[in-house]
Structure 1
Amino acid sequence: MQIDSRMVRSADGCHLYAEAVGNRDHPAILFIPGASVTGTWWRKQFDSLSDTFYCVRFDLRGNGASDKPSDPAAYQESQRWADDIAAIISAFELSKPTVCAWSYGGYALGGYLQHYGQANLSGVVMVDSGAQLNTDQSKDQLHEAFGQLIGKLFSPDVTAYREGVEDVFKSLTAAPVEDRDRADFHGASFLMAPATWQAMFGRRIDHTEDFERVSLPILVVHGQQDPIFTPRAAEQFREIIPQAQISSYPCAHAPFYECAERFNLELVQLMNDVSSKRHVAARHGSG
């Protein structure tokens, strides 16, 4: 598998590390990771799906191999996150990709929908994520223990921060993680500064109305043992997006990793649905 890796410049000058595999003429899937991890956590999708789809992934700003701006505003403004996704889509010349967003990546996608809309997308997959953060409603969408975990990650104390990192790692899967993925996670986590955690998770986010406007095929995946997002987060998507399909997995915060075979099958089914709708739209357009 030959990987096309590059640094992509976002609108504010922040450089994002991104990778792509597969045939550029095939339908595209853009994978967005969460905080404290890199895009390589999507490797089970890259390994299995790149023969059929053009797969692209990147590291969020402040994370992994991407730039880590010191200005808190670089993480607190939804426009920045929106521009990051737009920059990746433009750099790889993606034609109406389906976007698969995990955890904090879902908030980034919400920013994209707010500022760019859905016109340049074909489908959406939300994986253990939500539409809100630090709102009255979001209190029911995040487990109470997550607040305690975040408090450790906000701390400049090295011991507390290390405990927070370990707590995040334990939340990802219910089953043991492969050694290379464990190393990848810890390496990425300790590159992320407490100030970045504060800027990212201290801001108020409400993309409810932005997701309400989504008319694309959408799959919402939730891990039944997820210690971060409660089932209520997935239920809200069902309430605000009538066509949303909810799929519940017997695992923790990373169903695409822990239950990769099932996740890949459901993703392919969504991609087939997306393809079918595009053919119907094309026929109507030509008529």
Structure 2
Amino acid sequence: MFTIHPFRLLAALLLLVTLHAQARDYIATAPDGVTLAVQESGNPDGVPVIFIHGLLGSRLNWSEQLASPQLQGYRLITYDLRGHGLSAKPAGTRAYSDGRRWADDLRAVMQAAQVHKPVLVGWSLGGAVISNYLAAYGDQDLAGAVYVDGVIELAPEQITAHPDIYRDLISSDLRTHLDAINAFLRLCFQTPPPAPVLERLLANAAMASWDMQRGVQSMTVPAAEGLRAARVPLLLLYGEQDALVRTGPAIARAVALNPRIQSKRYARSGHAPFLEEPQRFNRDLAAFIAQLR
């Protein structure tokens, strides 16, 4: 039977308590004045890892990664995308439809955090943010990037059609809007998380800007420009049971743009393998970061 020496267990617990105590919150400001809520935890001297959540999410999506002992040696940085969570929610769809604004937001977070060669981890919409960043700024300031069921392009062959849900997300009728949020979030999981987690994520999703939900549906995603020129290691981690992004076509398109891209598929996961199979996901992420050194 596998046992853990009590002194090693105590040391690990003390490390977690110390790192938790070092967590801090601060604000980054985008070029257009949008303020972005940023949080850090983990080892401040470790490899910086910036987690970028998806549509209707926030930093709370990454709870399994922020609490993972495997990842505590890294500098873990999360932020709420514009229109989400505790970040600013500018009015009008123009603040969200131009993908360059999302790239500028990520750049502002990197500058506020004063990071050197971070690893980017983008889920769903967060993948589109990475592609916009690569197109706007290149990869010279990055160590690598991970797409997690990421949106490669807003193309019909890569995105599973749910026209009623996307229509109702931007409905001005509150009941219709909230029901669509519920339906959308449940499509993220092949295996739903525990009820308290799902309820928190539903409440989190209800905070998202309605203008953002209108504007982001026509967001520009220059994947061809961004991915094709990338030279840093890129990894795609996708759930085989994804009901929102079509895993096969999305991976095929990314690899066609950049044959150096590596990919792994999670047979039991839907759109959110980092929550559905967190231990495996955390191992895969840690292994990817380790090989960048």
CA deviations on 1:89-134 (whole Å, 9 max, x unpaired) are 111111100100000111111111111110110011001112211x
Deviation at 1:240, TM superposition (A): 1.4
1:255 is matched with which residue: 255, 259, 273? 273
Structure 2 CA distance for aligned equivalents of residues 243 and 158 of structure 1: 45
Letter in 2 for 1:19: Q
Farther-moved stretch of structure 1 (251-260 vs 106-115)? 106-115
Task: Tell me the residue number matched to 1:285.
Answer: none
Task: Answer yes or no: is 1:203 the counterpart of 2:219.
Answer: yes
Task: Answer yes or no: is 1:172 the counterpart of 2:188.
Answer: yes
Task: Tell me the residue number matched to 1:241.
Answer: 258
* Contact 1:128–1:234 (CA under 8 A) maintained in structure 2: no
2:124 is matched with which residue: 92, 103, 127? 103
- 1:225-236 mapped onto 2 (5 Å cutoff): 225-231=241-247, 232-236=249-253
Task: Tell me the residue number matched to 1:194.
Answer: 210
Farther-moved stretch of structure 1 (192-201 vs 28-37)? 192-201
* Contact 1:41–1:181 (CA under 8 A) maintained in structure 2: no
* Contact 1:37–1:184 (CA under 8 A) maintained in structure 2: no
Task: Tell me the residue number matched to 1:278.
Answer: none
Task: Answer yes or no: is 1:23 the counterpart of 2:40.
Answer: no
CA deviations on 1:190-246 (whole Å, 9 max, x unpaired) are 222332211011334332221111111111011111110002112211221212111
- 1:89-128 mapped onto 2 (5 Å cutoff): 89-128=110-149
Letter in 2 for 1:91: A
2:55 is matched with which residue: 24, 35, 39? 35
SS in 1 for 2:255: helix
Letter in 2 for 1:255: P
- Aligned alpha-carbon RMSD (Å): 1.4
Task: Tell me the residue number matched to 1:84.
Answer: 105
Farther-moved stretch of structure 1 (159-168 vs 94-103)? 159-168
1:11 is matched with which residue: 8, 31, 40? 31
The number of residue pairs the alignment matches comes to 270
* Contact 1:28–1:95 (CA under 8 A) maintained in structure 2: yes
Deviation at 1:50, TM superposition (A): 4.4
SS in 2 for 1:64: coil
SS in 1 for 2:78: strand
Structure 2 CA distance for aligned equivalents of residues 68 and 193 of structure 1: 6
Task: State TM-score, norm by structure 2.
Answer: 0.88
SS in 2 for 1:90: helix
Structure 2 CA distance for aligned equivalents of residues 244 and 203 of structure 1: 24
Task: Tell me the residue number matched to 1:131.
Answer: 152
Deviation at 1:148, TM superposition (A): 2.5
CA deviations on 1:244-270 (whole Å, 9 max, x unpaired) are 111111211100111111111111111
CA deviations on 1:150-183 (whole Å, 9 max, x unpaired) are 1110111122212211111111222232344223
Identity of aligned residues (%): 26
SS in 1 for 2:292: helix
* Contact 2:48–2:77 (CA under 8 A) maintained in structure 1: yes
SS in 1 for 2:236: strand
Deviation at 1:51, TM superposition (A): 2.5
Structure 2 CA distance for aligned equivalents of residues 253 and 229 of structure 1: 7
* Contact 2:56–2:205 (CA under 8 A) maintained in structure 1: yes
Task: Tell me the residue number matched to 2:286.
Answer: 268
* Contact 1:217–1:273 (CA under 8 A) maintained in structure 2: no
Unaligned runs of 5+ in 2: 1-19
Unaligned runs of 5+ in 1: 276-287
What stretches of structure 1 move > 6 A for 4+ residues in a row? none
2:158 is matched with which residue: 127, 141, 148? 141
Task: Tell me the residue number matched to 2:96.
Answer: 75
SS in 2 for 1:248: strand
Task: Tell me the residue number matched to 1:218.
Answer: 234
